[in-house]
């Protein structure tokens, strides 16, 4: 637990240290590619999103730990079963209809824990609603016998600026 808190504190400090803490950044602030275990953990994050984007909720759920904690819009789902029962299908339907663009990603790893923080832009048409939002996502992953698994997700978004970020 102490190691997990240390990684959360480190990731919070890194995110808060740059202009990226309040929205998408200009390309001059691009982060270097992730290395080692952080890169391996990021591949799991990407696989999770790829599964959602094709509606494969089973594969997406398989990348989560049974005790995953998902925080979004002030709500909490405290297990994979709770997330699967409440928001997984809706998240897959949304992601299938929307277009995501990665703006910036940072991450790190220590021992059997890794974190991946992603900023992005989501656009598209979901039903009658036009979508244009900047997004932030933090995922904590733990190395388990089956490989890296998502143990914590925090999603946040807001309306995208009406003028391009420079």
pLDDT tens-place string over residues 96-133: 999 999 999 999 999 999 999 999 999 999 889 999 99
Whether the per-residue pLDDT at 77 is higher than 60: the answer is yes
Whether the per-residue pLDDT at 28 is higher than 50: the answer is no
Examine residue 165 and state whether it is found in any structural domain, yes or no: no
Examine residue 28 and state whether it is found in any structural domain, yes or no: no
Residue 74, burial from CB neighbour count under 10 angstroms (0-12, 13-18, 19+): exposed
* Predicted pLDDT at 31: 83
* Predicted pLDDT at 24: 37
Examine residue 63 and state whether it is found in any structural domain, yes or no: yes
How many domains would you assign to the chain? Answer: 1
Examine residue 110 and state whether it is found in any structural domain, yes or no: yes
- The rounded distance, in Å, linking the Cα atoms of 137 and 154 is 6
| pTM of the complete model | 0.82
* Predicted pLDDT at 118: 98
Whether the per-residue pLDDT at 70 is higher than 50: the answer is yes
- The rounded distance, in Å, linking the Cα atoms of 116 and 109 is 9
30 CB contacts (<8 Å, ≥6 apart)?
104
Residue 106, burial from CB neighbour count under 10 angstroms (0-12, 13-18, 19+): buried
- The CATH number linked to 136 is 3.10.450.50
Examine residue 30 and state whether it is found in any structural domain, yes or no: no
- The rounded distance, in Å, linking the Cα atoms of 48 and 13 is 26
Examine residue 27 and state whether it is found in any structural domain, yes or no: no
């Amino acid at each position: 637990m102490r190691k997990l808190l240390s990684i959360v504190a480190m990731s919070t400090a890194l995110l808060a240290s740059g202009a990226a803490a309040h929205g998408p950044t200009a390309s001059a602030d691009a982060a270097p590619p992730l290395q080692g275990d952080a890169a391996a953990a990021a591949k799991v994050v990407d696989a999770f999103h790829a599964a959602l984007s094709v509606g494969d909720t089973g594969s997406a759920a398989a990348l989560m730990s049974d005790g995953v904690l998902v925080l979004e819009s002030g709500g909490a789902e405290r297990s994979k079963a709770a997330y699967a029962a409440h928001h997984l299908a809706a998240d897959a339907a949304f992601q299938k209809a929307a277009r995501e663009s990665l703006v910036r990603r940072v991450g790190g790893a220590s021992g059997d824990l890794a974190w991946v923080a992603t900023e992005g832009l989501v656009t598209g048409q979901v039903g009658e609603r036009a979508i244009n939002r900047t997004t932030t996502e933090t995922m904590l992953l733990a190395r388990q016998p089956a490989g890296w698994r998502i143990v914590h997700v925090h999603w946040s978004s807001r309306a995208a600026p009406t003028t391009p970020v420079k």
